[in-house]
């Protein structure tokens, strides 16, 4: 059987190597249009910031290593320009010699990945970051004394835009990051993204949100970026990282069916509308694990899994049941930012009923060095208490918790059953009650009717509601540093001695810094027959969002 693969990197190389491990007799050939067949594309921003110092560190496999170990033939600088379904051939152009020739296949695997969405064509002033060649070019230009690059504009606040912005700051460049929507990183909700925005600003990045770029042009050796009101900014160079779209032009021209966002349409086994052509990786869409609907999630982990699963299917006829949660993580300066499943914006858009909780536990024991808070948001099904999505931000311990929550979603663990998980504990790593257990306790309390919540988006209406009394149970010093208008201050430990100040005819909404003390206060008052609830996430979430909105507006 002769397998031709269009594209290396994640899915194509993963498929080829797994296929060889299962079938020693197969003929396997990869056509890759760049000069690198298998490289760490997620590491490219860190090469620019000199965190990864050697270019060779970005290369995972070479044509030589793939041939020597796996007997896989690799053709670099070789662009497939046409697929002929009828006679099962492809047309290849050698990008170095311009020679055009044919090759034939029994099975064809399209792993062309994604391509960058661009406003302006690339030039010696305008760049994208997609390949090793791109990273070498950008690093060379910003480090050149002759070019004297000081100011860089980055368009797009997704994964690549954020990571390249951080690494440009580390390279001592002044960075302006422009994002067209109301917050960076689409996998987060606005409330959680506020912490990210604060981190970017604190590290010197000029962050422009809700800002649409209408035109880009080069003027007097500068790049000029125009906005809707015809105002503009200038920089020495510009990097476009607006997002990506499936690289499906080749498939479309071959007459293959397309799907969501013009991705290549495939069945559960990654077979296209042609029985001998398959597509994997960022060129395709995939079903969501949460609601089984088609979605587009261009992540390296998924692409690698798809390559492996397809090889299993083609050799062993193992049917594939791969669905995506979109679990992801990135580091921006001191913050680790992770998410899995659906965020609140997606749940609202899809009309999926949900409840949400916030908590701010420490990442490890408070008495151990450098303990710091995690900010955790979890969405769960209101009817069966299964987890639908989660977002976590913190300085450490984020990866462990998001992976546990991703596993919980995958295996449909009830939110309240997280209380039963036995998780590793020692002071440098966690607390005796891990934040994951705390999530379970909170969902269990909601399930059992022990607590009612209000959210930050309700605060303005609560302030104006004559049937509501806002009581801040933080200590006096905390309250005086900032508080919600119309709230009164009764510290938690003084609550029992000040019951006369509370109106039993009103709903008593308690507020504290993170919602832990307010929960305890709610239990005290509920047991005394007060109508009580608390502010989910506490003043910490509320104040961060208000601060961020003030800067954005």
Under DSSP, the state recorded for 265 is P
203, 206, 207, 211: CA torsion to nearest 10: -170
Query: Ramachandran region of residue 76, left (φ > 0), alpha (ψ -120 to 50) or beta?
Result: beta
Structure tokens at 77: 């600088």
Structure tokens at 410: 């995958």
Q: Which of 17, 42, 184, 512 is catalytic?
A: 42
Please identify which residue in the block is written with the tokens 């995972």.
60
Residue 162, CB-side half-sphere exposure with 13 Å CA sphere: 23
CB 49, CB 168: distance < 8 Å: yes
What φ, ψ does residue 101 adopt, rounded to 5°?
-150, 170
Please state the separation of Cα 175 from the chain's center in Å.
Answer: 21
Structure tokens at 98: 């311009």
DSSP strand E in 241-296: where? 244-246, 277-279, 286-287, 294-295
Residues 6+ apart with CB under 8 A from 231: none
Euclidean distance between CA atoms 464 and 459, whole angstroms = 9
Selection from 116, 115, 204, 191 nearest residue 152 by Cα: 204
CB 490, CB 512: distance < 8 Å: no
Euclidean distance between CA atoms 390 and 379, whole angstroms = 6
CB 326, CB 345: distance < 8 Å: no
CB 489, CB 474: distance < 8 Å: yes
Selection from 344, 345, 401 nearest residue 375 by Cα: 401
Under DSSP, the state recorded for 434 is -
Euclidean distance between CA atoms 208 and 551, whole angstroms = 9
Residue 210 to residues 157, 474, 552: CA-CA distances in angstroms?
A: 11, 34, 8
Q: How many CB atoms lie within 10 A of CB 67?
A: 13
Three-class SS state of 365: coil
Structure tokens at 295: 């979605």
What one-character-per-residue DSSP string does 217-248 give? Answer: EEETTEEEEEETTS-EEEESEEEE-S-EEE--
Euclidean distance between CA atoms 168 and 190, whole angstroms = 25
CB 409, CB 340: distance < 8 Å: yes
Q: Is 42 a catalytic residue?
A: yes
Euclidean distance between CA atoms 42 and 282, whole angstroms = 14
List b or e across 257-269, with b for residues whose CB sees 16 or more CB atoms inside 10 angstroms. Answer: ebeeebbbbbeeb
| Residues forming the active site | 42
């Amino acid at each position: 059987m002769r397998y031709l693969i269009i594209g290396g990197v994640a899915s194509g190389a993963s498929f080829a190597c797994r296929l060889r491990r299962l079938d020693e007799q197969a003929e396997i050939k990869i056509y890759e249009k760049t000069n690198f067949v298998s490289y760490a594309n997620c590491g490219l921003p860190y090469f620019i910031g000199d965190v990864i110092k050697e270019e060779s560190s970005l290369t995972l496999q070479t044509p030589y290593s793939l041939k020597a170990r796996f007997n896989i033939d690799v053709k670099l600088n070789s662009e497939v320009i046409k697929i002929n379904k009828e006679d099962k051939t492809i047309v290849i152009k050698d990008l170095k010699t311009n020679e055009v020739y044919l090759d034939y296949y029994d099975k064809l695997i399209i792993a062309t990945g994604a391509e960058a969405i661009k406003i302006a064509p690339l030039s010696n002033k305008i760049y994208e970051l997609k390949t090793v060649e791109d990273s070498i070019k950008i690093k060379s230009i910003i480090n050149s004394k002759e070019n004297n690059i000081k100011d860089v504009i980055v368009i797009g606040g997704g994964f690549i835009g954020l990571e390249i912005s951080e690494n440009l700051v580390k390279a001592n460049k002044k960075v302006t990051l422009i994002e067209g929507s109301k917050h960076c990183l689409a996998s987060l909700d606005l409330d959680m993204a506020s912490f990210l925005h604060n981190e970017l600003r604190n590290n010197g990045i000029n962050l422009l949100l809700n800002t649409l770029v209408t035109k880009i042009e080069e003027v007097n050796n500068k790049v000029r970026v125009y906005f809707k009101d015809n105002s503009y900014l200038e920089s020495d160079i510009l990097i476009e990282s607006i997002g990506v779209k499936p690289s499906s032009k080749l498939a479309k021209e071959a007459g293959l069916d397309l799907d969501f966002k013009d991705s290549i349409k495939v069945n559960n086994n990654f077979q296209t509308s042609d029985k001998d052509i398959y597509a994997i990786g960022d060129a395709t869409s995939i079903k969501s694990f949460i609601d089984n609907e088609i979605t587009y999630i261009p992540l390296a982990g998924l692409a690698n899994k798809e390559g492996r699963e397809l090889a299993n299917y083609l050799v062993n006829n193992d049917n594939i049941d791969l669905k995506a949660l979109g679990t992801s993580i990135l580091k921006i300066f001191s913050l680790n930012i992770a998410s899995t499943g659906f965020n609140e914006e997606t749940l609202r858009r899809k009309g999926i009923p949900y409840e949400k909780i916030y908590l701010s536990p420490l990442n490890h024991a408070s008495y151990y060095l450098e303990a710091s808070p995690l900010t955790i948001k979890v969405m769960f099904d209101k009817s069966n208490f299964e987890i639908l999505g989660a977002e976590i931000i913190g300085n450490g311990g984020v990866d462990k918790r998001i992976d546990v929550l991703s596993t919980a979603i995958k295996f449909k663990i009830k939110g309240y059953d997280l209380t039963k998980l036995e998780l590793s504990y020692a002071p440098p790593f966690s607390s005796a009650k891990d934040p994951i257990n705390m999530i379970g306790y909170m969902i269990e309390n909601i399930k059992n009717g022990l607590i009612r919540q209000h959210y930050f988006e309700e605060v303005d209406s609560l302030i104006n509601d004559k049937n509501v009394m806002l009581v801040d149970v933080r200590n006096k010093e905390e309250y005086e540093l900032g508080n919600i208008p119309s709230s009164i201050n009764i510290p938690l430990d003084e609550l029992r001695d000040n019951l006369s100040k509370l109106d039993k005819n009103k709903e008593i909404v308690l507020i504290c810094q993170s919602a832990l003390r307010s929960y305890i206060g709610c239990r005290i008052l509920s047991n005394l027959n007060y109508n009580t609830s608390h502010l989910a996430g506490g003043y910490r979430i509320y104040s961060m969002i208000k601060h961020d909105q003030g800067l954005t507006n």
